Chain A
């Protein structure tokens, strides 16, 4: 099977090489059959890469350890659910996933534009196949996922336990979908510049891809945050870690792009800005992939080792220099068709929003690469932490939230004082009422940044509510529909606008959750024995008893031993929850099998326990003291090694762990370290992200009338064709 995979990758590389040449030759000579052949190369690439992807996925599911990558990242004890996703924990598998997704999205876009943009599409096809050539060349020549072992091991090393979380099944494909979807507007921007077609047509043709990229990248980021909160055991959802930042940067510039393209569509302005933004986004996506896979920056999320630094740096440098050269080359064509009429216009607000987003991206970029920059300048690696990021990002985020409320209220071109009064009165009142009310909530006035975020959040909610109300009322007046029907019809007929407003609302709800949970968080690390009690922000936590499970991990991660605690949580004398945090231990791939040590010496993970309500989260994690347990394990292993025949040792070791060591731990547990965190409004971060995703889906969905028109056009074409035949 590995041969088939290798051959499929080689065929994919040849297809890319052929397709690039055919597309450019067709574009230069005007010979459409070569352009068409290049377009079909993209489909062929998708077929070849689907075969390669399928072969590798099958090898993981079958635990075929003759594949080096399967032996290194899976095992027979890895649950099937996680075997399926183990592929993208490896460098080879994740690069294959990247290029496979690229081939699928590229196929979709060249199919949708098969009868449009004749001048632009060949160049865009060449760029997309160029991307494909780079990644398949890496897979063929540098890090083949189809390397085989002459002597396959009986079992593999297993999937990194930290990655055994449902979010990790979806998180990497989502991030990579976002990165590869952003390659499409990038490729069309290059095509538009080369073909001198820099009007809004390339934007219209790829707008949905940019929006889909923004949406799935956002979903990927949120899933990563959720995983961090539930799996990493430090109690937060965002650490300003290099790998987290790598995905955030293209999302920020992508957000700027999907706003500023509206100005080009409506006014023919900001052409240089738009192409620069999308080119930067494309480059940041490749940079993001590189950061995750290379390990050049320290990260809690970096699971890759660097072997691909040079090719990626060459690609990023080539993309950057090529993009700058293209924009400079075509600067005459990129002049704005109109000037900004007024600073009180939606265009001006969008421009300001873009500047803030790009400033945010710059801050994140600077903070992320600061260790490398400081090392280059001073010779010492110095990194910056969350407080540094907060100093710059919080004020910028406040301005951004304010703009997300102001933008929808202002008309294009020029706003008049009368219109401003009419549209701002209610949202401003919402903001002021929230501000005044919160001044009376104890503790809130002492946190002015959080207070500002709450007031601005109310202002944005007021904006969105007013927009929905006024739109529905206007529609009811025109059509006579009842209000709920008018509201539904309004959103259905103006998906882009109202989907966007819902996204604003969702993002603001998220920011409110972030502000509250950051500003008003109380955390404690306590060493407790059974019967001990700790107080955390009004919660009384009693360590009731220790627990130990052997080979029975309730979360299905394949843990061999889970040492946990039962915590009784009460507030104001009332029981509110029973929490069961645990620490899971996995078999090692280093020590010899057949010992108790082997059964539990893999990288341990925290299984956190959270009591989550709409108002607050109470988060707990436990770290059992393993020193006493280790002595017992060492004694057991000595006895096993001395007295038990080798073939029986694994079974005896397991029984010792299950029947002696674990029960002993439960009966006489040593004190354990507990991390306990009370944070308000964390649930609203996840609720806000769901609202934003819902809004994004509404904006992405094709308008019903457009779909009908396309169907009608297809039918007309068929009638014409039939008449032609007759």
Chain B
């Protein structure tokens, strides 16, 4: 085995060990990385999905697939669900 190959393998091992071990070295800091942050991201994704649903329903009404009455009922329900997500997001902000 030539020296260059050995050096390359050693370098690869170092890089891999550095990548994998860094969270373990920063143990406390990683633990502190907030659970709230993860929850917020999940809620924001849920909020975006709900907004998309509201826009979809609106488009269905505009293109004639939903009657005015059906759309109103659906829109009311979707908006209520969106409000609930926003309320949970606000609660999360209040905890900080």
Which residues of A are in contact with B by a Cβ distance under 8 Å? 1, 3-4, 7-8, 11, 15, 18-19, 31-34, 36-37, 39-41, 43-44, 47-48, 51, 115-118, 200-201, 204-205, 265-266, 409-416, 418-419, 422-423, 467, 470-471, 474-475, 478, 493-494, 496-497, 706, 709, 713
CB-based contact A116/B45 at 8 Å: yes
Q: Is the interface of A mostly helix, strand, loop or mixed?
A: helix
CB-based contact B64/A3 at 8 Å: no
With contacts A32-B31, A36-B30, A200-B49 taken as known, whether A1 is within 8 angstroms of B5 at the C-beta atoms is yes
CB-based contact B65/A419 at 8 Å: yes
CB-based contact B19/A47 at 8 Å: yes
* A116 CA to B37 CA, complexed, in Å: 8
CB-based contact B59/A497 at 8 Å: yes
Residues of B within 8 A of A418 (CB): 67
CB-based contact A494/B45 at 8 Å: no
CB-based contact B23/A40 at 8 Å: yes
Residues of A within 8 A of B45 (CB): 116, 201, 204-205
* A376 CA to B3 CA, complexed, in Å: 55
Q: Of A201, A414, A493, which is within 8 A of B70 by CB?
A: A414
Shortest CB distance B77–A (Å): 10
* A118 CA to B26 CA, complexed, in Å: 18
Contact with A along B41-59 (1 / 0, CB 8 A): 1101110110011011101
* A475 CA to B59 CA, complexed, in Å: 9
* A205 CA to B38 CA, complexed, in Å: 13
CB-based contact B63/A32 at 8 Å: no
Residues of B within 8 A of A4 (CB): 5, 8-9, 12
With contacts A33-B26, A265-B49 taken as known, whether A51 is within 8 angstroms of B5 at the C-beta atoms is no
CB-based contact B38/A117 at 8 Å: yes
In the complex, B95 has a CB within 8 A of chain A: no
Given pairs A31-B31, A34-B23, A419-B64, 4 additional interface contacts (CB within 8 A): A18-B20, A204-B46, A478-B62, A713-B44
* A419 CA to B67 CA, complexed, in Å: 7
In the complex, B74 has a CB within 8 A of chain A: yes
CB-based contact B38/A118 at 8 Å: yes
Shortest CB distance A9–B (Å): 11
* A467 CA to B23 CA, complexed, in Å: 51
With contacts A4-B5, A115-B41, A201-B42 taken as known, whether A41 is within 8 angstroms of B20 at the C-beta atoms is yes
What 9 A-B pairs have minimum CB-CB distances, sorted nearest first? A474-B62, A36-B23, A411-B65, A470-B63, A33-B30, A7-B9, A44-B16, A33-B27, A44-B19
Residues of A within 8 A of B49 (CB): 200, 204, 265
* A205 CA to B23 CA, complexed, in Å: 24
* A18 CA to B16 CA, complexed, in Å: 12
CB-based contact A3/B9 at 8 Å: yes
CB-based contact B16/A48 at 8 Å: yes
CB-based contact B24/A34 at 8 Å: yes
* A138 CA to B49 CA, complexed, in Å: 41
Contact with A along B1-23 (1 / 0, CB 8 A): 10001001100110110011111
In the complex, B86 has a CB within 8 A of chain A: no
Residues of A within 8 A of B55 (CB): 493-494
Q: What are 11 residue pairs bridging A and B, where the CB atoms are less than 8 Å apart in the complex?
A: A8-B9, A36-B23, A36-B30, A40-B19, A41-B19, A44-B19, A48-B16, A494-B56, A494-B59, A497-B56, A709-B44
* A252 CA to B21 CA, complexed, in Å: 41
Shortest CB distance B22–A (Å): 7
CB-based contact B19/A11 at 8 Å: no
* A422 CA to B59 CA, complexed, in Å: 15
Q: Of A32, A40, A266, A709, which is within 8 A of B20 by CB?
A: A40
* A32 CA to B31 CA, complexed, in Å: 5
Which partner residue on chain A sits nearest B63 by CB separation? A470
Which partner residue on chain B sits nearest A46 by CB separation? B19
Residues of A within 8 A of B57 (CB): 412
Residues of B within 8 A of A18 (CB): 20
Residues of B within 8 A of A474 (CB): 59, 62-63
* Max chain A Cβ within 10 angstroms of own Cβ: one of B21, B22, B42, B56: B42
Residues of B within 8 A of A19 (CB): 20
* A266 CA to B60 CA, complexed, in Å: 14
Residues of A within 8 A of B66 (CB): 411, 419
CB-based contact A37/B74 at 8 Å: no
* A32 CA to B8 CA, complexed, in Å: 32
Residues of A within 8 A of B65 (CB): 409-411, 415, 419, 423
Shortest CB distance B2–A (Å): 8
